């Protein structure tokens, strides 16, 4: 195995360990708050605080990265993550959890924005789709471990959060063992506005999936519980849907490398919309299990295609800026999506969730149909 492949594997492994903790966080908080009797609007606002942290960090990293070693930033952020999870374990909801969720968002954005820019910088154009497919396979599997563990250890008390602490400490250890070249240090920061204009369609692909995921992670378990699942079964369903997607990501990346990135994005976006709407008749049947897998696989196939397009377009500090824009998009989606959706669900009901999820993919299909020049 060559040196660059070893580096890529090390980066993916370290990010995956941290991702186990994030998977636990995003599922445990809505379940705890729902059990406490908090409204869907309040649950959505807690998600918003986390995304506000992601937005702040994403917007700041493009200016910080050229002057501070990226490896140092990641290590410091993981230490912050340990502090946050200890805080969740030994504090009571409600209000302290908003501040902790904000700080956790800072950690998430720094670790994953920087790690993704490392992966882009160290993979060649001809294999980028497959590298991103391998990365998303790892991230999907590790993220699914969070809800899976909650199924067995529960979501109340300090135990789930202490499991998260252990996962982040493992990430720290793995991260300390890798040596990443500083490709952007000392270079002039790339402008965010110019970067967004240069990769408009790729960022659209990323952005719509951030809204889809914000809706899914915040409300899907509650939607399943409303339709006959108990809390453990609902988290297990989502965990299964997340984990089983790994069967598709490398193939989707291969298709993008060898056929067409745009064609792959188009097919995935259209299918994601259809599968989202099929939740309505399938939620109370056995067919919801394979459907959740297909829905998430095609949704994140759209993300994978857009992410590979970014790697084709940007290098150096532009790649750092592009990764920062990705974090900003995750932040914006979390700030706008869950509170607005939560308010709608409080007034009209959770039956709207599949429609919200399907609507996320309309901008991609409309852009491909009406404004194809923006794609190229």
Quick one: fold of 3-374? Growth Hormone; Chain: A; (1.20.1250)
Q: What is the pLDDT of residue 119?
A: 84
Q: Is the pLDDT of residue 375 over 60?
A: no
- pLDDT for 186 equals 47
C-alpha distances (whole Å) from 207 to each of 107, 163, 201 are 20, 31, 10
Q: How high is the pLDDT of residue 269? A: 94
Q: Are 242 and 140 in contact (CB under 8 A)?
A: yes
Q: How far apart are CA 328 and CA 12, in angstroms?
A: 22
Look at the chain and count its residues.
376
Q: What are the angstrom distances between the C-alpha of 302 and each of 17, 68, 129, 201, 248?
A: 24, 33, 12, 11, 12
Most trustworthy range by pLDDT among 61-70, 211-220, 231-240, 262-271:
262-271
Tokens of 245: 């997607």
Q: What is the mean pLDDT of residues 230-242?
A: 84
Does 133 have pLDDT greater than 50?
Answer: yes
* pLDDT one-digit tens code per residue, 307-321: 778 777 776 667 777
Mean pLDDT of 124-151: 78
The answer to whether the CB of 119 falls within 8 A of the CB of 132 is yes
| Its pTM surpasses 0.75 | no
Find the range with the poorest average confidence among 46-50, 59-63, 240-244, 259-263: 59-63
What confidence score (pLDDT) does residue 150 get? 81
* Cβ neighbours of 72 (radius 10 Å): 9
Q: Which residue, chain included where needed, has tokens 């529960």? A: 154
Average pLDDT, the chain: 84
CA–CA dist 28, 20 (Å, integer): 12
- Read off the pLDDT of residues 70-128 as tens digits, 9 standing for 90 and up: 889 999 999 999 999 999 988 877 678 899 999 999 999 899 888 888 887 777 766 77
Please tell me the least confidently modeled range out of 165-179, 191-205, 285-299, 310-324.
310-324
């Amino acid at each position: 195995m060559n040196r660059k492949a070893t580096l890529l594997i090390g980066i993916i492994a370290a990010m995956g360990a941290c991702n186990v903790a994030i998977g636990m966080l995003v599922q445990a908080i809505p379940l705890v708050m729902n059990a406490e009797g908090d409204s869907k609007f309040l649950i959505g606002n807690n998600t918003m605080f986390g995304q506000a942290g992601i937005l702040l960090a994403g917007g700041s990293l493009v200016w910080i990265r050229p002057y501070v070693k990226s490896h140092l930033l990641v290590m410091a952020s993981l230490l912050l993550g340990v502090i946050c999870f200890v805080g969740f374990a030994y504090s009571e909801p409600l209000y302290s959890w908003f501040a902790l969720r904000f700080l956790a968002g800072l950690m998430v954005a720094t670790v994953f924005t920087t790690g993704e820019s490392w992966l882009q910088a160290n993979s060649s154009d001809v294999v980028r789709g497959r590298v991103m497919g391998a990365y998303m396979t790892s991230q999907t599997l590790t993220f699914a471990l969070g809800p899976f563990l909650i199924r067995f250890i529960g979501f109340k008390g300090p135990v789930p959060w202490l499991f998260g602490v252990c996962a982040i400490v493992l990430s720290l250890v793995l991260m300390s063992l890798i040596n990443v070249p500083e490709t952007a240090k000392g270079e002039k920061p790339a402008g965010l506005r110019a970067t967004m204009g240069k990769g408009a369609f790729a960022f659209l692909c990323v952005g719509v999936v951030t809204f889809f995921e914000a809706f899914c992670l915040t409300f899907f378990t509650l939607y399943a519980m409303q339709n006959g699942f108990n809390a453990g079964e609902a988290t297990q369903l989502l965990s299964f849907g997340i984990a089983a997607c790994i069967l598709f990501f490398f193939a989707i990346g291969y298709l993008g490398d060898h056929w067409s990135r745009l064609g792959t994005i188009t097919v995935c976006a259209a299918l994601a919309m259809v599968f989202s709407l099929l939740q309505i008749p399938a939620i109370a049947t056995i067919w919801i299990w394979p459907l959740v897998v297909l829905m998430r696989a095609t949704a994140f196939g759209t993300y994978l295609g857009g992410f590979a397009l970014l790697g084709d377009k940007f290098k150096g500090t532009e790649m750092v800026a592009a990764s920062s824009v990705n974090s900003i998009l995750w932040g914006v989606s979390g700030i706008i999506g869950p509170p607005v959706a939560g308010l709608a669900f409080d007034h009209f009901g959770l039956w709207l969730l599949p429609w919200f999820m399907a609507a996320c993919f309309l901008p991609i299909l409309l852009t491909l149909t009406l404004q194809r020049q923006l794609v190229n």
